[in-house]
Structure formats: structure tokens, C-alpha cells
């Protein structure tokens, strides 16, 4: 038996793998774009199934699509939405800039399988792509997939991380440690205060991401080829947005200006920028954890992160801060993704942006890996770290910068002499200050009480 079948499109005949549900246009794209082996994200393909299903329902409601075809198209879309047909979407991310190839991939798969299910002809362009163009379907799918990813993955993950940090802060609230600026000893802070800074950063990131989502909820659908809505009923876009709202539980609407929605990726750039801001906060938190965990003997050694795996192929017993390291790499990737999205968004030439697949891939990757990294930091690093109170107390008692608390009593110059002497002799500030100032031990104990200094 032959391993191929013959399909044809407007450019002629072409051999397609026998078991493939897609047709000639998809096969041409497979052959034209052997670039990276990176296919469009599952989340994007699932959202594309949602969009195609919503379009079929809207076309049926407007009288353009009969019930038998609508039902068959919707049934196949259900399989796309659940991920069952992901192997039928083989196209590379680096393809035609409008992602026409991916849109036709979906049209062909849905039509081919709906033909079998309905027993009548379902055409990929005339029926599945009715009232649509790749130029409005793909921007719509970017927004739908990003909105779903944010609401279902990212926002819950950030909230979980914030809650975990807040709970940890409460459990270590009485511990006072040496503060650090420029990586050098500074005035004391409580461990809870330090963690509260992490929490506040994440709360700010959460708010800013939420503030970008209303623009993501606005869709290009109904604009068709150039934004004018050619070949689509005026009510089509609104009906599709309503269908998508019902199927996802999110509030979608048609863009106020579909010329902008086709040619601009402003909302995606704005969301990506906030994802980058979140990444910078996660990078800071990850590196704080790494420094605090450093040692266990020759580093800071304030905390001990959970031991998750052997840390060296040659040094027995070594354990590394693997979760913060992984999270930091995620942050680097997200920052790079944002740069690519920024450049891609500049490629809106006249009525269409022509780097849409890249925007889709990078935006959804950033959402996914930030979500996963946030959960890992919460569950495998922050929730389980233990505090080395002896190390913290030993460092705090000898911290020469505590002398700052005496400035108003003895002045900056004498304070500097006391600090340098304490550091040079490895003695506690309180002992040196008692010798070099006129303050009594009782006064010094009061002024240098770490708990009062925070």
C-alpha cells in the first residue's frame, strides 16, 4: 500500500502522507519551512480550535452554514480543543508571517475529518473558513490563547507564590538578620521584612498584568482580510466574541478598531512587557535565595533550601540551589522573548503584521514558563527552606554597621572609628563602643538592640 495520497489545491496536485488529516496547503508549508522543528504551541492550537468552533456557530446563527456541517465542524474542533489532534499540526513557527499556513492547516484538518463525520462535503475555505481570513483569525487566536493562559495558569501561579511567601514571612517573623546593600553588611532587617519586599514586588506585577488583560480580551475577528470585514456579516465578529466568552468563561469583545487589530500587536507587546517586569522580580527573588543559601560553610548560609538532587558529578555531598537557578534561566528566556516580540510588533506593514507566529510562540512560552517557575519557587524552594539562626545571630552580633544607630549620640566620625576597630579586631560593636565612647553598657544595649533597629 502507498504511504501517500494525492491532494490538490489552487496550485496543483501534491502528495500528502496517507494518514494525515491535513491537505495540500499544509504539506506545501511542511516542505517550505523546515526551519527549527519548533511547532506552534499546543495552547495556540487549542485556542484556534475554539475560534474555529465559535466561527462555525456564528455562521450557522447567521444562516450561512447548515446545521449538519456546523455540528460536524464543531465536533472536530472539540478534538482540537482537547489536544487530541495536535499531531496533525506539524508546521514550524518560522513560516509565513501571517500564519496563513497554520490557519489553513486547521481548515484542512477540520474539513477532512468533518467530511467523514457528516457524510457530505465540507470545504476548508468555503465552510470552515467562512467569514474569516488568516489575517483576523490568527491575531484573534493570539489574544484568546494568551488570555486563557493568563487566567488559568499565570495569575493563579503568581497568587500562589505570593501566598507562600507571606506564610513563610509569618513563620519567621521574629528573626532579625544583617541587611545588605551592595552585597555588603548594612543595618539589620527582619527576615519577614525582607520577604515582604518579595511579596510586594509580585503583587505589583500581578496588578500590572491584570491591567493589560482588557486589551487582550479585544479581538480582531470580523475584520477579515484588511480590517474592512469583506465577505463577513457585520454581526459576525460580535457573535464570535460572544461564543468565545461562553466557551471560555472570559469576557471577549470585538476590537474597537479592526484595522489596528490586524496590523498592530500593541496589546501583546504591553502584556509581554509586564511579563518581563515579572521576570525581573522573579530573578531578584531567585538570586536572593541563592545568596542566602550559599555555603554551607564558606557562604552566607542564612537559610538551607530543600535538598532536591546531588549537585555535582565529581564532588560527593554537594547540593545546589537548583530551583532558583532554573527560575533565573526562565527569567532570562522571558526577557529575550520580550525583545523578539517587540521587534515582531514593529513589522506591522500597512494592514497586516507579518511576524504573528513568532509573537504567538514567544508570548505563550513566556506565560507558560513563568507560571511553572512561580509554582516551583513556591513549592520547592520558599515553602521548605529552613533558617540557620545561629549563623544569622553570629553575623548580626559582629556587624560593624550597627554603629549607625549611635550616630545621633556620638557622631559619624567616632562611629566610623568604632566600626573599623570592631571589624579589624573581629569584636562585637557593643564591646568596642563601650571602650571608645562615653555611653554606658546599658545605653548601648538599648541603642543597639537589633529588634528595635528594625
Kind and range of the H or E element at 137?
helix 134-149
Identified catalytic residue from 36, 204, 251, 312? 312
231, 136 contact by CB (below 8 A): no
Q: Are 59 and 65 in contact (CB under 8 A)?
A: yes
From CA 305, how far away is CA 288, in angstroms rounded? 12
Nearest to 216 by CA among 172, 162, 244, 253: 253
Quick one: how far is CA 243 from the chain centroid? 26
Element (H, E) at 16: strand 12-17
Grid cell at residue 83: 489536544
Q: Which residues pair with 6 in a beta bridge?
A: 15
**List of E strands, 336-454:** 348-349, 352-353, 386-387
Question: Closest by alpha carbon to 302, among 317, 291, 315, 292?
Answer: 292
Quote the Cα angle for 395-401-404, to 5°.
Answer: 140
Does residue 217 carry a catalytic annotation? Answer: no
Q: In the annotation, is 123 catalytic?
A: no
Are 131 and 223 contacting, i.e. CB atoms less than 8 angstroms apart? no
Name the active-site residue from 2, 10, 182, 313: 182
**Centroid of chain to Cα 105:** 27
Q: Give bridge partners of residue 218 from the DSSP assignment.
A: 253
H helix intervals, 217-257: 236-248
Q: How far apart are CA 9 and CA 28, in angstroms?
A: 10
Distances (CA, A) of 2 to 17, 19, 23, 88: 9, 11, 16, 19
Cβ-in-10-Å burial (0-12, 13-18, 19+) of 316 comes to exposed
Per DSSP, the residues of 242-253 read HHHHHHHSS--E
Please tell me whether residue 306 adopts helix, strand or coil conformation.
Answer: coil
As annotated, the active-site residues are: 182, 312
Amino acid at each position: 500500500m502507498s504511504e501517500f495520497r494525492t491532494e490538490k489545491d489552487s496550485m496543483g496536485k501534491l502528495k500528502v502522507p496517507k494518514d494525515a488529516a491535513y491537505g495540500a496547503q499544509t504539506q506545501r508549508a511542511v516542505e517550505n519551512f523546515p526551519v527549527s522543528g519548533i511547532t506552534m504551541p499546543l495552547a495556540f492550537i487549542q485556542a484556534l480550535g475554539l475560534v474555529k468552533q465559535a466561527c462555525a456557530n456564528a455562521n450557522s446563527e447567521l444562516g450561512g452554514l447548515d446545521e449538519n456541517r456546523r455540528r460536524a465542524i464543531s465536533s472536530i474542533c472539540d478534538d482540537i480543543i482537547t489536544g487530541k489532534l495536535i499531531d496533525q499540526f506539524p508546521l514550524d513557527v518560522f513560516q509565513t508571517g501571517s500564519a496563513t499556513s497554520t490557519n489553513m492547516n486547521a481548515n484542512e484538518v477540520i474539513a477532512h475529518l468533518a467530511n467523514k463525520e457528516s457524510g457530505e462535503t465540507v470545504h476548508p475555505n468555503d465552510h470552515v473558513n467562512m467569514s474569516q481570513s488568516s489575517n483576523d483569525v490568527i491575531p484573534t487566536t493570539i489574544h484568546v490563547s494568551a488570555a486563557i493562559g493568563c487566567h488559568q495558569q499565570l495569575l493563579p501561579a503568581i497568587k500562589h507564590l505570593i501566598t507562600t511567601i507571606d506564610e513563610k514571612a509569618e513563620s519567621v517573623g521574629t528573626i532579625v538578620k544583617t541587611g545588605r546593600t551592595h552585597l555588603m553588611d548594612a543595618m539589620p532587617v527582619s527576615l519577614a521584612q525582607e520577604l515582604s519586599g518579595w511579596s510586594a514586588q509580585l503583587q505589583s506585577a500581578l496588578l500590572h498584568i491584570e491591567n493589560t488583560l482588557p486589551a487582550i480580551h479585544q479581538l480582531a475577528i470580523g475584520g477579515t482580510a484588511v480590517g474592512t470585514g469583506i465577505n463577513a456579516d457585520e454581526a459576525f465578529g460580535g457573535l464570535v466574541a460572544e461564543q468565545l466568552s461562553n466557551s471560555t468563561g472570559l469576557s471577549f469583545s470585538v476590537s474597537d478598531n479592526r484595522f489596528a487589530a490586524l496590523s498592530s500587536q500593541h496589546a501583546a507587546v504591553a502584556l509581554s512587557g509586564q511579563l518581563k517586569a515579572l521576570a525581573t522580580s522573579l530573578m531578584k527573588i531567585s538570586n536572593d535565595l541563592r545568596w542566602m543559601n550559599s555555603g554551607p560553610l564558606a557562604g552566607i548560609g542564612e537559610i538551607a533550601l530543600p535538598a532536591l538532587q546531588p549537585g555535582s558529578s565529581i564532588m560527593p555531598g554537594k547540593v545546589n540551589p537548583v530551583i532558583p537557578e532554573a527560575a533565573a534561566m526562565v527569567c532570562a528566556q522571558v526577557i529575550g522573548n520580550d525583545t523578539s516580540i517587540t521587534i515582531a510588533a514593529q513589522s506591522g506593514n500597512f494592514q497586516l503584521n507579518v511576524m504573528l507566529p513568532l509573537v504567538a510562540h514567544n508570548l505563550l512560552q513566556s506565560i507558560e514558563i513563568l507560571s511553572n517557575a512561580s509554582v516551583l519557587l513556591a513549592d520547592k524552594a520558599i515553602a521548605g527552606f529552613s533558617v540557620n539562626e545561629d549563623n544569622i545571630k553570629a553575623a548580626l552580633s559582629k556587624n560593624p554597621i550597627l554603629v549607625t544607630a549611635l550616630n545621633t549620640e556620638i557622631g559619624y566620625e567616632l562611629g566610623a572609628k568604632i566600626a573599623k576597630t570592631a571589624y579589624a579586631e573581629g569584636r562585637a560593636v557593643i564591646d568596642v563602643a563601650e571602650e571608645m565612647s562615653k555611653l554606658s553598657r546599658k545605653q548601648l544595649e538599648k541603642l543597639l538592640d537589633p529588634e528595635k533597629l528594625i
